[in-house]
Amino acid sequence: MSAFSGIRVLDLSRVLAGPSCGQLLADFGADVIKVEDVGGDENRKWAPVVDGESANYLSVNRGKRGMTLNLKSPAGQEILAALVRRSDVVIDSFLPAVAGRLGVDDPKLRALRPDLIHVTISGYGHDGPLAGKPGYDLMLQAFSGMMAMTGERDGGPIRAGASFIDMATGMLAFSGVSAALYARLAGKADGQHIRVSLLETAIALLGYHVPAYTLAGKLPPRDGSGVWHIVPYQAFRTRDGYVLAGATNDAAWRRLCAAIGADALGANPEYATTTQRIAEREQVIAALSEIFATRETAEWVRLLDAANVPCSPVNDIAKALAHPQVRAMEMVLDVAGRGGRSLELAGVPLNLSATPAVPGGAPPALGEHTDSILKQELGFGEDKIAALRKEGAI
């Protein structure tokens, strides 16, 4: 049996963070209904779109049932209320004012089901001067200080390649739901309102950079592929690509130099310690760059691995997904899509020995299960469903 078998989730959220939380809950057995406006989640239209389906949407909606619902209509509000009464968890990502207008603020939802686990995901948090401001991943990369420290030293700020703040926020929401469901089961609480935001996630992900500034006054510079406090630890160009190599301590520095045949560099007393290498960063990196350019990436990885030096090839996504280690960890799932085509989606990054994830089927088409949900969950007949569709409630 899956960990969340019997748990019913109403996913009213959009784009990435909230839907990714809903997908994880579905992966672990929850019955998740994704509710979209009649026009659909905005990320359904974000490129690339293949056979009418957006990669962005497909990435976070696996294993859900999908329906459309016009929450601005009285009939839509009645259906929402009926579904909330039958749900253990509701996920939303509406701004506070919008949530109030649509009847999905916490007091209104809790009046329908007092023991509800209600997750609200926002851009900037529930308090403060920006609580009413919408936020996307890229905006928070800029606001949080992440973008300012990302890029080359002689260039401008750069966006990280993945929408990792969105995805990490979804994981935090999932952990919050797990904790709240346990608290309810253990009798420690009835329902709870879980509030997470992209801003809080981003600041938390700064990690050691926070005390580095608050305690030592250090603002991290843009260091390209490297980090300012460990030298060397970055990507170096090779004959056929790039290799990531690093010396995370002084012993690793000596092993690195021996492995790449840089005996004179390793013996130079001016580079012997971490502090010295930071001070002489340009000279150290220049000398190593000249050496790494002489061989292919795979050869350097072989030599550095043998010497127990931190290293990795700099793969593109195609190489990473094809790697046997990624496949062995089942991080690429082959999901049956509509029309008999196969969808390769990212796997579940969480392993439970007794109640493992059982990823579901293809993400739902817009409104794919509207009729069946209304029939099975609420007992609506064909005539009533047709009338709701005619008046624009679904």
Domains and CATH numbers, the chain: 8-205+329-390 (3.40.50.10540), 233-313 (3.30.1540.10)
Q: What span, in angstroms and rounded, lies between the C-alpha atoms of 382 and 388?
A: 10
- Kindly report the backbone phi and psi dihedral angles of residue 192, in degrees, each rounded to the nearest multiple of 5, phi listed first: -145, 155
Q: Report, as an integer, the average pLDDT of 158-180.
A: 97
CA nearest 251: which of 281, 222, 274? 274
Q: Which residues of 158-191 are buried (b: 16+ CB within 10 A; e: fewer)?
A: beeeebebbbbbbbbbbebbbebbeebeeeeeeb
Q: What is the pLDDT of residues 273-297, one digit of tens each?
A: 999 999 999 999 999 999 999 999 9
CB atoms under 10 Å from CB of 216, counted, come to 8
Sign of CA dihedral 164, 166, 168, 171: negative
Q: Report, as an integer, the average pLDDT of 198-220.
A: 97
Cα-to-chain-centroid distance, residue 254 = 37
Q: Please report which confidence band the pLDDT of residue 110 belongs to, taking 50, 70 and 90 as the band edges.
A: very high
| pTM for this entry | 0.95
Q: Report, as an integer, the average pLDDT of 297-324.
A: 98
Q: Report, as an integer, the average pLDDT of 95-109.
A: 95
Q: What span, in angstroms and rounded, lies between the C-alpha atoms of 231 and 236?
A: 12
Q: What was the pLDDT predicted at 248?
A: 95
pLDDT for 15 beyond 90: yes
Q: What was the pLDDT predicted at 208?
A: 96
Q: Using alpha carbons, list the distances in angstroms from residue 40 to 61, 64, 102, 188, 368.
A: 13, 15, 16, 38, 11
Strand duo 332-336 + 342-346: pairing? antiparallel
Q: What is the CA radius of gyration of the chain?
A: 25
Catalytic residues, which ones? 166
Q: What span, in angstroms and rounded, lies between the C-alpha atoms of 333 and 343?
A: 8
Q: Is the link from the previous residue into 48 a cis peptide, with omega within 30 of 0?
A: yes
